[in-house]
Amino acid sequence: MSLPDDRRRSSAGAAQLIVASALMLMSELALIRWAAAFVVYVAYVTNLVLLASFLGIGIGFLRARRDRDPGGSVALAVAAASALIWLLQAQVPDPGADVEGLLGAPAPPVWLVLPAVFAVTTLTMAVLAEAVGRRFIEFAPLDAYRWDVVGSLIGIAAFTFLAFVAAPPVVWAVAIGAMGWYLAAGQGRRASVGAVAIVAVFALGSFGAGVSWSPYYRLSVETRAADRISIHVNGLPHQAIRPLDALVADQPFYVAAYEHLTRPPGRVLIIGAGNGNDVAVALARGARTVDAVEIDREILAVGRARHPARPYADPRVTAHVDDGRAFLERTDRRWDLILFALPDSLTLVTGQGSLRLESYLFTTEAMEAVRDHLNANGTFSMYNYYRPFVFERYAATMREVFGNEPCLDAGEASRAPRQQAVLTVSRAGPDGLSCPMRWTPGADVPEPATDDHPFPYLRGRELPAASGIGVVAILAFSLVAVRRGSRLPFREMRPFVDLFLMGAAFLLLETQNVVRFALLFGTTWLVNALVFAGILLSVLAAIEVSRRWAPRSRSLLPALLLGSVAVAWLVPADALLILAPLPRFAAAVAVAFTPVFLANLVFAQRFRDVGSSTVAFGANLLGAMVGGLAEYLAVLTGYRALLLLVAALYVVAIRLGPRAGSAPSIPGRRGATVAA
């Protein structure tokens, strides 16, 4: 039995909208990974690409018209963006070397590269969003919103699967190119050229001798000498595999902690085990068992295959692919020696937020967890190349937690202004270690990092000048880009100032969930993917409820929303760490996703009545981008205080929203939004 023509057209339109939304999300994630992989300047500012994506999506929706379909250009746009970013390549071939560009040429300066990446990403996402927006117009607002979220879920699931199987970018490109070709069916040669171009460009960066792709990095493994195998990540030197004798001779800090022990190590835990150097040292020093925790399974695989001592093949060693802090919080085991073995990542947890993978390892609460997992005479040691104020912060935190000054082994200052150093402390007190030199505090010791303020690499609670300049520049560029790119007077967005504020509030709420779950369950790529999938599922649930139900009282949903935000503020994330994993997960989901669900109910009730949802979308996305910039306030206040800003933004948005029966509209423009 065949479907009626109108239902067939509706089904085909829904399928196209789902594919377009999946394409847009996958392209955003791909550009974030691609830019970080080849441009070292982007390593710690991947949220720059995210903010550019919000801006581009907003402009694209404002440009969407029924009589214009950029479908044939979508794959070409992604191909062009990835090619330009690849040409802007900047990498550091060796420690202390100058930054190099493509094929060893001088790298473009950072002041040119970062604005170029931002502009290219904005333009690309605008083309993709215009293709999505044109399909939005064919549906009622909440129906379009529903199909958009379904497509976004598919995009997240697809990219998560590709990360799980460590697929190189050329595989991402095949998926993106195929979706672009599908959307451009009937538009002739341009669609095929775009699909082929994106695969070709991504293939250029996918392969090479010793190149592989983990969920976090582009790894490059190279034999530099007979006794040295170098591991580069995203164009930066990261680790080197060395035979045990060469390692100890050249870098004695690897054995410094063992020199202070009064008895051989028994059970050893190594966090940041990497390629296996530290594991090999522990085995050589007589460890009975070693638990080796490494967050990146591809680096672990390199160590298994290439380390000459084969430490991971030893039956005394158990390897764990996990976040170090999360591993500690999930176990009741105790060890005689716990090592933080150079756990220094070169990437952020996600494109959203300012957390590095190891940020939660260096807080006061983390060191308390270390202390509680040591036996009565157990020892904790950490080593790295520290900036002076970072070294002082860690030493002071160890003294605060363990009650005595740590032993100090100072090494060479070969990575100025960094100082090689080892800090070692015993749970048994000063007499628990053989310690010829102890740390003495300097004149200016920074306050410890905490779970609420996990920024160990910042000197204090202040926004770096470069970040402040960047925020102002992005805002200025965005105002010009929205006005010029959309060709829409700002006055047409004035009726949607409440949606602007909702966008800012929701982005901050989303960031809260990312950092909350990173603390509770780890900073791994899988946890991040599940958080974003959970947010989208909450949005989808809110849409389905809104399509079937409208509250009698306009104040009910806002009151429930503000109440749920208050609960999230009253229950700090680290308060849930005392719970067992399953109750912790249930409590975290309830605390984190209830505000997300209610926020989307409030948004959906407002959005269903707009007559100009593409304009509403533009206002909402501008708000989301401003919310992404406001996330930097966590550097000053800590993450928990951002919930107060979330509540304030929703209060003002609700007060400024239209009263019943007075929803503003601009005839002839319909659509929906992906941010609430």
Render 280-328 in DSSP notation, one character per residue. Answer: HHHHHTT-SEEEEEES-HHHHHHHHHH-TT-GGGSTTEEEEES-HHHHH
pLDDT of residue 672: 34
pLDDT confidence tier of residue 560, bands split at 50, 70 and 90: very high
Q: Note the pLDDT tens digit of each residue in 22-73.
A: 999 999 999 999 999 999 898 877 788 888 998 998 888 888 765 666 666 7
For 490, phi and psi rounded to 5 degrees? -60, -25
8 A C-beta contact, residue 210 and residue 221? yes
Q: Tell me how far apart the alpha carbons of residues 439 and 420 are, in angstroms, rounded to a whole number.
A: 14
pLDDT confidence tier of residue 665, bands split at 50, 70 and 90: very low
Q: 3.40.50.150, 3.40.50.2300, 3.30.870.10, 3.30.390.10: which CATH number matches 242-344+364-432?
A: 3.40.50.150
Please compute the mean of the pLDDT values over residues 107-115 and round it to a whole number: 90
Weakest mean pLDDT among 246-255, 293-302, 484-493: 484-493
pLDDT of residue 669: 36
Please compute the mean of the pLDDT values over residues 574-589 and round it to a whole number: 90
State the DSSP code for 416. T
pLDDT of residue 136: 83
pLDDT of residue 66: 57
Q: Note the pLDDT tens digit of each residue in 610-627.
A: 766 667 777 787 788 889
Q: Tell me how far apart the alpha carbons of residues 165 and 522 are, in angstroms, rounded to a whole number.
A: 20
Q: Is pLDDT of 1 > 70? A: no
Q: Tell me how far apart the alpha carbons of residues 566 and 560 are, in angstroms, rounded to a whole number.
A: 10
State the residue for tokens 């994630």. Answer: 29
Q: Note the pLDDT tens digit of each residue in 279-316.
A: 999 999 999 999 999 999 999 999 999 999 999 999 99
The H or E element that residue 561 is part of is: helix 556-570
pLDDT confidence tier of residue 151, bands split at 50, 70 and 90: very high
pLDDT of residue 664: 41
Q: What is the gyration radius of the CA atoms in the chain, in angstroms?
A: 26
Please say whether the dihedral angle defined by the alpha carbons of residues 40, 41, 45 and 49, taken in this order, is positive or negative: negative
pLDDT of residue 413: 57
Question: Which range, 97-101, 377-381, 435-439, has the best average confidence (pLDDT)?
Answer: 377-381
pTM: 0.90
pLDDT of residue 322: 94
pLDDT confidence tier of residue 425, bands split at 50, 70 and 90: very high
Token reading at 230: 């170098």
The edge-to-edge listing of strands for the beta sheet with 267-271 is 317-321, 289-294, 267-271, 335-341, 374-386, 419-426, 407-410
pLDDT of residue 9: 53
Q: Is pLDDT of 666 > 80? A: no
CA 53 to chain centre: 14
Q: Is pLDDT of 338 > 80? A: yes
User: CATH code for 471-676?
Assistant: 1.20.1250
Residue range(s) of every CATH 3.40.50.150 domain in the chain: 242-344+364-432
pLDDT of residue 379: 96
pLDDT of residue 186: 59
Question: Which range, 201-215, 225-239, 266-280, has the best average confidence (pLDDT)?
Answer: 266-280
State the DSSP code for 356. B
pLDDT confidence tier of residue 676, bands split at 50, 70 and 90: low
Mean pLDDT for all residues in the chain: 86
Q: What percent of the chain shows pLDDT beyond 90?
A: 49
Q: Is pLDDT of 650 > 50? A: yes
pLDDT of residue 352: 56
CA angle, residues 121, 124, 130, in degrees to nearest 5? 135
pLDDT of residue 65: 67
8 A C-beta contact, residue 201 and residue 100? no
Residue range(s) of every CATH 1.20.1250 domain in the chain: 471-676
pLDDT of residue 462: 85
Weakest mean pLDDT among 90-99, 108-117, 347-356: 347-356
Residues 6+ apart with CB under 8 A from 650: 501, 502, 505, 558, 561, 562, 565, 599, 602
Q: What percent of the chain shows pLDDT beyond 70?
A: 91
